[in-house]
Amino acid sequence: MLYRRFPKIPELEISALGYGLMRLPTMAGDPSRIDEAKAETAFLAAVDEGVNYFDSAYVYHDQKSEPFAGAVVERHGLRDKVLLATKCPVWLVKERADWERLLNEQLARLRTDRIDFYLLHSLDAGRWETVRKLGGIEFLEKAKRDGRIGHFGFSFHDSLPVFKQIVDGYDGWEFCQVQYNYIDTAFQAGSEGIAYAAARQIGTIVMEPLRGGALARVPEGVKSIFAEFGKPRMAAEWALRFALERQEVATVLSGMGSERELRENAAVASSARPNSMTRKELDLIERAAAFYRERMPVPCTTCGYCMPCPHGVIIPEVFAMYNAAVAFEVKEDRSAWYKKAYAGQGKGADSCAACAACGECLPKCPQSIRIIEKLAEAHAYLMN
């Protein structure tokens, strides 16, 4: 396993591959019923492979992820071998006392007196305002001083301008966590956001390098593009290497559901160094990304100029999910997939339907997208 460092935390080595504890194996597809035997086997295999960064959250697996991780770490005496990361559900904070209540509950679930990396979960413009109004930063600083957390940062789901606002809104951020893969280089924070954070000595954790597993199951058109490399390489490896290519990235999270997936990904993270891909490899990845983009029904760049919507529609994210559902040929119940995607961010499940056709967004779109029409189209497709 190769290791990297956060600029502001040079004393800690972070495994290039981090284990995301959001997609553990489950019983009968029920996210609240973790298949603990299989999940524990994969967890221990990760430690064996040199993975030391384990990422959970209050809400993962219907609040079962943190207790699972805490039990495994305690049972096998791994506390000194792993770095535990988890996230505070900002949307559940209604008053100042909630910060303390949630952190203490998470410490108990994880069976530890210290969380190594603590993140404000899924920040967007509204949640950042909650953090500012209800003393979130002061709480984090206090918890770090008294030793209950080691380091703190935030995970992010909003537009690039909001990302910059949050980064610039506080000088003490030590790291951030953003969605990044070869499709989403301009989505939310994207490439520019990673560089923006790095210029301020804020390290980056990458989530969704495989886009929820979609980039591990590529269509024939993408397979034929990658075949031009001339050497056999699994689709997941292409995606992981792309994310690990950036010097600014400290660790890349993958929600591995089996020991096999874990060991395959660990092998990649044991050889993929920053700035090591050839021009040919990068060109093939760009062609693969173009293959997907050409199949996306809405030319939305997720710039966020259409926001905020007075009726609460999260326009860029709706279009991103619509594009993904079409381009990746989502075969499962799209309605359930759509609602699950929003629920994972603590947001309402049916954003499309809130559109009142007021038209406020239309003149703001630099791509001249017929937003009202496309939202209705997205709603019909995603809720089918």
Per-residue model confidence as pLDDT tens digits over 43-55: 999 999 999 999 9
- What confidence score (pLDDT) does residue 345 get? 46
207-256 tens-digit pLDDT: 999 987 888 888 889 999 999 999 999 999 999 999 999 999 999 999 98
Q: What's the pTM?
A: 0.85
The beta strands (E) that lie in 170-278 are given as: 175-179, 203-207, 249-254
Question: Which pLDDT score, from 0 to 100, does residue 158 have?
Answer: 85
C-beta separation of 19 from 254 below 8 A: yes
Q: What pLDDT score was predicted for residue 257?
A: 84
| All domains in the chain, ordered by first residue | 3-286 (3.20.20.100), 315-382 (no CATH)
| pLDDT the model gives residue 372 | 95
> Residue 173 has what pLDDT?
98
Q: How much is the pLDDT for 365? A: 87
Spell out the residues 6+ positions from residue 39 whose beta carbon is closer than 8 angstroms to its own. 24, 25, 68
CB 83 within 8 A of CB 12: yes
Single-letter code of the amino acid located at 202:
I
Q: Which of 88, 155, 168 is nearest to 124 (CA)?
A: 155
Report the SS3 class of residue 70.
helix
- Residue segments in the chain with a per-residue pLDDT below the cut of 50: 343-349
